[in-house]
Structure 1
Amino acid sequence: MADDMKFFGLDDEIADVPRETEVETESYTVWSDNLLTLQLFLRLENKWNVVIAPDGELIRTGIWFPNIEGVLRTTNGIPKRKWPEVLADLEAMEDAALEAMHKVQGERREKRLREMQTKHWQK
């Protein structure tokens, strides 16, 4: 495989990346009541509003509402009368995801700040 990678001008280290079959994944149980919401949430994974922080990091601010409506309209089996319930569930999932993402981003920002301060004081 390394020869193939070189042929295409790619680094050998890419060839060392574990294949999907070699990666251990955690399994989760999804309650049937939440399955539809999870499926919709996953379909919206690339429909988030994003802003760029001064340090260049992308920060998600929420799912763009018209995209939610578009997905609801194109998903078979969701009657319009259930949309308010589905939207409420999606908003709860979005809030939890934003909280988790912002926590990780805050931790990364603090780590970078500590590294910068350490470099500054070492001079």
Structure 2
Amino acid sequence: MEEIAFEDFLKVDIRVGTILEVNDFPKARKPAYQLTIDFGELGIKKSSAQITDLYTKEQLVNKQITAIVNFKARQIANFMSECLVLGVYNNDGKVVLLQLSEKAKNGEQVS
């Protein structure tokens, strides 16, 4: 594992957001959803997320998530992904979303 300086960590902007809308993403190479996420004062951002194995669209709407919001936008098929939703791979290789233990204000920074 490569070590980084604390100053490098400070460059990563991780925020809390609430998923507003979830759509299928048939043009993605791997199964994914297109998410529309409310980050409060930061505004609305879109993300492609490979989380179809463990989550239905209905389960995701109104769910709070954490995401890196200061990555450069990335073109995925015909969709522009503006943030990276955070999760971990479980023992089956499926993505489990990182979640808050209590509700927080959209746009709050993870520290």
With the shorter chain as reference, the TM-score category is under 0.3
Instruction: Please identify the structure whose Cα radius of gyration is greater.
Output: 1
| Larger strand share, 1 or 2 | 2
So what's the TM-score if we normalise by structure 1?
A: 0.22
| Larger helix share, 1 or 2 | 1
- Larger relative contact order (C-alpha < 8 A, sep ≥ 6)? 2
So what's the TM-score if we normalise by structure 2?
A: 0.23
